[in-house]
Structure 1
Amino acid sequence: MTTVTSTPVLRRTLRWSAGITVGLAFVGACIGWLLAAERGLISAITGVVLTAVFLAITAISLLVANRWYGSPLYVPIFFAIVLGSWLAKFILFFITLTLLRGQNWIEPMIFFVAVVISVLTTLVLDTIILLRSGLVRRPGSGHGPADPMSSGQARASTRT
């Protein structure tokens, strides 16, 4: 069975995300402690860890779904796993926020800022890893036409 091209990229993303999560949790815990003592520390760590878990669910579901690559049922299995994980994540997200809402050990603003910074950091990390992976052709990279319509073959096929 061949490996899907995205598998090493997804694994690299998970490894780097784990490292970034540890760093963000440490920095968030320190800042949270300075701003709101124990409540701030717990809120920052909770926000960072929950974000990491929810973002990792997607990458893990893609890795699991890629195991069926080459199977005649790959496409339906892939979409069932990925969409199922998104639905589960959506439901778990609302359950988690409902349970955390109003807890006296959560500092809402620190929790919110930790979640936002974690999401933005992970998006930047994912973008950097994807761009360095070679899966995406950047304009002017010399690896072929950036625009498929710029090749003669593509133009010839669109003429009537």
Structure 2
Amino acid sequence: MAPPPATAEPPSDNPAASKLHHAKVNLKYLALGSAAGVAPASLRTRSILTTTRYVVRYIIKRAIRYAKYAVVGALVAAVGGGLLGTLGSGLAFFAAPGIGVGMGVGVLTAVAKFGWRHRGNHLRGGAWEGMKARAQAGRDGAADEKIDASSLKKQQEAESKARRADVWMRV
């Protein structure tokens, strides 16, 4: 006995299709992207839905990141208030970090992380000075890249061996 034929959705560009069908296709494309079984027929609709999908994902990721900073600030405020409250309630009223201080700690953490990620090599001296010196010496860039790649690989292998040798560093 043969299985019953699978009911396939009608194509989305069918003008006779209902608005409900078009809405289902659009929502499925918005949620799943190109992995959705049926895509909207209009290029304009596909591009708007794809852009909306990426913007919503970006906003959610940023909201989660900032929520983590808020949690850090709240923990600092709670621990600080609790410790100072047990030491001296009169002093804690004036010295305990409040919501503003907790938010400030979260913002400072965010600024420090951003600065370290984006300007870290500048702050640490980085490889820029070495690259400038090699360029002024007239060295070949391709040869320097090969040398850097091999030295980086050797360094990574040495770190990996050291990590494997140290039992307490295993994750």
- Whether TM exceeds 0.5 here: the answer is no
- TM-score by length of structure 2 reads 0.29
Decide which structure has the larger Cα Rg and report it: 2
Quick one: higher RCO (CA 8 Å, sep 6+), 1 or 2?
A: 1
- TM-score by length of structure 1 reads 0.30
